[in-house]
Structure 1
């Protein structure tokens, strides 16, 4: 893939996040391998977002334990299998310097990335994380859409004001979107009011949570599902296997 192809897909992916109406968020399913990616593309989704936990499961690793090389290789296979833009969840960045992280992401053909602001369940200092995001933005230019995960609700005290403050620092550092993972749907309007730019919310595929349309109405610009689809598929396989036995 040429640099021009990557840039055009990055621009397309970025454009998908803007001008969206309430109740019409960008829905990004999470393929864990190339076959799943093709299924989602054939279903009509305009872009995809890989889940690190789902990819880890497909490779036989626990969440957060996938070697960097294997994660990048898996992302590259997914990107190669489809024509739509693909964003990659690369956890905390695997300890790579921003420039090397960007280079390795671009080598996969990904046009976006998800970066966490916690390590082993402990929140990073928001100023240090903002500096890291600024380094990624500088190295990537416009070639990567940076989704900055805010882990206040997952690994902090769940204070919305802290999530908003972290989000503001990350947006100022150049993040294209922020993702307060684990934020209760009821808090989304408050987060939306306090956060500039696109806002990512987590959706569910088991019907237990609000639909993407409802999440969009509450303020979400886009909805991702983490490893939800991979776990749903695994449950279906277990059920089929049990019937066969």
Structure 2
């Protein structure tokens, strides 16, 4: 990653923070965006709350050429369908989909000028498997998958690759309510064929690979990193 300019949206915790650490160690030049700058990461930081401001207004310090963009913000809004409101669905779409669209819009010219760049988005195993209580996040992440494939087709002639990673439950601050006791954590581990939930570095390592030149022939893919949950029992 030496000499590569990479934008991480949502790099101050969880998977985004793990990725920032990996890319920094690999020599990338980092640009970050989010409500808070990531601690211990050397980056050009742009303050952006994806639900409060437009990407065009926030992402004003991008380099002329951008080799990678990863959009990490997400949500875990698990409720029975009858308790979910239209505003819940709207919020999940804003965070997961429209924020990504805005970031890609703002970075498009810089990604194009890199003459070989990579965009990485995030889906979820719940977009592949029918999982109760997940209808809002499943709708939003399914839209992310559609966006990934459509943009991959549209951007292929200008050598911008677009892929998405679909994790299962990962030990991040976003999932703290689902892992708030030893019993919950043990149950979550046992639901996965590999008998554990994900770690941020598990997912970040795949993202780093997709951003690298080693993945230069991969685009339009939804890649499951889920401990086997989406494929085997």
Q: TM-score range by the shorter chain?
A: 0.3 to 0.5
With normalisation by structure 2, the TM-score equals 0.34
With normalisation by structure 1, the TM-score equals 0.32
More helix as a share of residues: 1
